[in-house]
Amino acid sequence: MAKLRAHAPQGSEGSDSTGQIRVSIAADGLPTAIRVESAWRGRLGPESVGQAVLDAFTAAVVSGMRAWEDALDAMSWRSRVAELEAQAELSRDRNGPALPPPMGGDFDTAGDATEVAEDALRAADRLRKQSTGEPPVGVGTDPPGNVSVTLSSAGLQACAVKAAWASRQDGKTLTTALTTALRNARTALDAQAKQPNPDAFSQLVGEALTALRSVAKSSRRDAR
């Protein structure tokens, strides 16, 4: 894995079909920069700026995927995976399928039940910390509200630019507004990602309590 990380592309860049909008993305697939060229008005209508940003983002993602393929090819990764799969299959042929560990349905003591209960609660707590339910979304705008950017963990989801305002702006001003909206969207996304989903946690607690009731019933049967 260390070798894979060493060869992994750290980011990529893409542009829309006119070459006037450029988006850079990081290794996590989230955009880090949006730039508008100075000659954009001669190639792109103001009503198309938002869609052009999305197109440039898509091009950056495709470029990143191609860079990954090139990195894997340089490492002969596919042949290594095929070799490992062949070794695993040979091992199965020699040793037979692995048998799962025996599962006991009863508990001998109240201590067993207590231990299982604690394990269930710890597992529920871990899942609570990991579960976010619906994917978090962050929306950011520039202060006047002329530009809006929406991010999720999957990347850029939406970009809206007011055409009437954009028609009077040069590339530098548009870039500044988009950069501000992108930064605010990323801040909002990070804040959302840190918040636990109460509904998902409630469901997990319910499942844990159900498991505990089953353990208690089993222990009472054993006591008789």
Is-above-0.75 flag for pTM?
no
Predicted confidence (pLDDT) at residue 219 exceeds the cutoff of 60:
no
How many residues in the chain? 224
CA angle 35, 146, 171 (to 5 degrees): 30
The single-letter code of the amino acid at 132 is T
pLDDT tens per residue, range 29-66: 999 999 999 999 999 999 999 999 999 999 999 998 88
**Tens digit of each residue's pLDDT (9 = 90 or more) over 186-196:** 999 999 877 65
Q: In this model, does residue 182 exceed pLDDT 50? A: yes
Look over the chain and give the mean of its residue pLDDT values, rounded to a whole number. 78
How many Å apart are CA 147 and CA 54, to the nearest integer?
A: 13
Q: What is the pLDDT of residue 68?
A: 76
What tokens were used for 45? 């209508």
Domain residue ranges in the chain: 2-83+133-193, 100-131+198-223
| Cα(175)–Cα(21) distance, integer angstroms | 9
d(CA 174, CA 49): 9
Q: Which residue has the tokens 């002329």?
A: 146
Angle at 117 between CA 112 and CA 119, to 5 degrees: 95
CATH number of 2-83+133-193: 3.30.1310.10
Residue 24 scores a pLDDT above 90? yes
CA 185 to chain centre: 15
Considering only residues 70 and 196, tell me which one the structure prediction assigns the higher pLDDT.
Answer: 70
Q: Place 95 in a pLDDT band, splitting at 50, 70 and 90.
A: low
**142-149 contacts: CB < 8 A, separation 24 or more?**
142/176, 142/177, 142/178, 142/180, 142/181, 142/184, 143/180, 146/177, 147/174, 147/177, 147/178, 147/180, 147/181, 148/181, 149/34, 149/178, 149/181, 149/182, 149/184, 149/185
